[in-house]
Amino acid sequence: MKWQWRHIAALLCLLLFPGVLVFWGVEAPPRENSLPANAVPGEEGGYPADSQQSPRDTLTPGPYPYIINEVNKCPEGKPAPFLVLLILTEADQVKTRNAIRQTWGNEGLAPGLGVIRLFLLGVKEGELGRLQQKTLESESLSHHDIVQQDFLDTFNNLTIKTLMGMNWVAMHCPRASYVMKTDSDVLVNTDYLIHKLLRPELKPKTNYITGYIIRGGRPIRAKGRTKYHMPRKEYPNKRYPGYCSGMGYVFSGDMAAKVYRASLSIPLLRFEDVYVGVCLDRLRIKPTPPPIKGLFNLRAVPYSDVKYNNMVAIHRVSPRQFLQYWPRMQSYKLSVASMPRVEQ
């Protein structure tokens, strides 16, 4: 059959149809800035194609430049800190950061061991975001405990924020014995964490991570019901590997570089705790259960001197409660220490 002009015209329409749509202004719906805008499963680490990141250069900050950094927080000439606290927060949470500085995040809580506190942030858009940024930069000059990169600070970008913290430890504090990543609504019993869970008198562990461990978790496929929806195209497996809840987990200092390096060949996921679990699975490292059940508590716990002094992390605690509960915890601890011991 001979090709007629109408056949050629029809073929040209089919070939040019996508271009015609763009020409007419019909585009795909805009995406929320969750992970890099052009990150897709299968790309190297899910980072933008024009990123300078590569597996051979694993200890660079990644595709997002630092806006605020604390490169001298962990100087080489001084003893390595025993614990680095990485606290995920947002620009407007000034009261929360101040409450943490006065309570469980006080860097003087473990004299002779060294505790470093860092608040991790992205940026906010709009005029309000610019005003918050000025306040944040002033706060940074006063306290020197803020690390910020130029990515949008959203729920879906918590993975980027966590990787920023991992990379900071790997680049600027690689000799730290332990690191705790936690959220700003968690009360950390720093004394219990250091002296009863990690125990500085012992040789620091390696390949170690612990927290509230979730095993056999299934991705939520139903759309629109929850922010924890996981599209099949983003994560096709039926179950997540074992992972520690993002409310607070503790890991040995060597893990920061290992997890960050693993992330370079694993497409990003929107849930940072699941993503760290995927990286651990790639590394063939399994989370270690806490020695006592209930040390890391996902749910809000009514205050009790005994309970709070025998947990590592309590979720859903407000800044006001930090300031209220912390002195009571210290008073109870002193009263117990002063009680006479009963000889057996």
Query: Which structural domains are found in the chain, ordered by start?
Result: 52-221+237-337 (3.90.550)
Contacts of 53 (CB under 8 A, 6+ apart): 44, 45, 47, 60, 62, 63, 264
pLDDT(21) > 70: no
Entry pTM: 0.83
- Specify which residues 147 forms β-bridges with: 120
φ and ψ at 120, to 5 degrees? -105, 130
> Looking at per-residue confidence, does 321 or 40 come out higher?
321
pLDDT digits (tens, 9 = 90+) for 82-92: 999 999 999 99
pLDDT digits (tens, 9 = 90+) for 104-153: 999 999 999 999 999 999 999 999 999 999 999 999 999 999 999 999 99
How much is the pLDDT for 8? 42
